[in-house]
Structure 1
Amino acid sequence: MTLLQPSPLLRRSLQLDALASGATGLLLALAANPLSGLFGLPAALLMVAGIVLLPFALVLAWMANSELLSRTGVWAVIAANLLWVLESLFLLLSGWVQPSVLGCAFVIGQALAVGVLAELEFFGLRRSAVPHGL
């Protein structure tokens, strides 16, 4: 396992991802029913998505504050974010749900934001260094 000294870009990207994931997770988990009406998306889908995001946010916050990170762990975060983007787009294209215009905008907007975070984390990973002596 390769340990890395996270670059400032990686650390800030993980912090931003943790904040966004935690805030979105709380919003979706606590307001699934009213958001369901606005977005035209099933309340259960919104609640489960919110609940999934909360432990993810905690892991990101822990990683952002760790002195050393596993390269594999950072790649796992990037992969999870890219999977979230693909699943979000698949949700809209699948016909499984018929979201409102606001719901489509929400799904696309959060997918774009997560994609940008994955890209920032990737570039932050590339700027990270293997500490001397390890």
Structure 2
Amino acid sequence: MSITRHPNFLRHLLLADGASCLAIGGALALGAGFVADWLGLPAGLLRAAGLVLLPFAAFVLFAARRPILSRSDVRLIIGCNAAWVAGSVLLLIGGFAAPTALGIAFVIAQAVIVAIMAELEAMGLRAAAPIPA
């Protein structure tokens, strides 16, 4: 049996996604001023990113805890993760900020992790037994 076919694979993945968004969102919302200089990214941008992640984390955790997962909820989560990755790429190539080497590494690392999470969620959704739309 493939791991993506495990009955709780997608649910556990969503819980991990929600928990990680909650952690990084809280850290960015509360600590943007502390890391802005190290990352070379505006504190306001970091704080806003953190504040955006908090309600998203709540939604992901809510969706993951429902008795029956909703395909449309999971698709929305995957789409939001893809948009986050696209925004991260635009931040680096768009000239909106001048991140330090550490900032570039941070943006790339979190974008790669989010992209992997989105792909695993898509794989889990495809492998899942039929669930309501």
Same fold (TM over 0.5): yes
- Kindly report which structure 2 residues correspond to 1:90-109, keeping only aligned pairs within 5 A, or say none: 90-109=90-109
CA contact (8 A) 1:27 1:50 kept: yes
RMSD of the alignment, in Å?
A: 1.6
Aligned amino acid, residue 61 of structure 1: L
Using the alignment, how far apart are the partners of 1:7 and 1:78 within structure 2?
A: 19
How many Å apart are 1:125 and its aligned residue?
A: 0.6
Task: Specify the alignment match of 2:58 in structure 1.
Answer: 58
Aligned amino acid, residue 118 of structure 2: A
Gaps of 5+ in 1: 1-5
- Kindly report which structure 2 residues correspond to 1:16-35, keeping only aligned pairs within 5 A, or say none: 16-35=16-35
SS of residue paired to 1:95: coil
Using the alignment, how far apart are the partners of 2:90 and 2:102 within structure 1?
A: 17
Using the alignment, how far apart are the partners of 1:20 and 1:76 within structure 2?
A: 17
Gaps of 5+ in 2: 1-5
How many Å apart are 1:88 and its aligned residue?
A: 0.1
Aligned amino acid, residue 98 of structure 1: A
Q: Report Cα offsets for 1:18-40 as digits up to 9, x if no partner.
A: 11100000110000111101100
Higher relative contact order (CA 8 A, sep 6+): 1
TM-score normalised per structure 2 = 0.90
SS of residue paired to 1:67: coil
TM-score normalised per structure 1 = 0.90
Q: Report Cα offsets for 1:48-97 as digits up to 9, x if no partner.
A: 00000011111111111111122111111001000100110110001111
Task: Specify the alignment match of 1:14 in structure 2.
Answer: 14
Using the alignment, how far apart are the partners of 2:73 and 2:19 within structure 1?
A: 18
Using the alignment, how far apart are the partners of 1:61 and 1:17 within structure 2?
A: 8
Task: Specify the alignment match of 1:115 in structure 2.
Answer: 115
Using the alignment, how far apart are the partners of 1:43 and 1:121 within structure 2?
A: 31
Using the alignment, how far apart are the partners of 1:40 and 1:52 within structure 2?
A: 20
Question: Is 2:76 the partner of 1:76?
Answer: yes
SS of residue paired to 2:77: helix
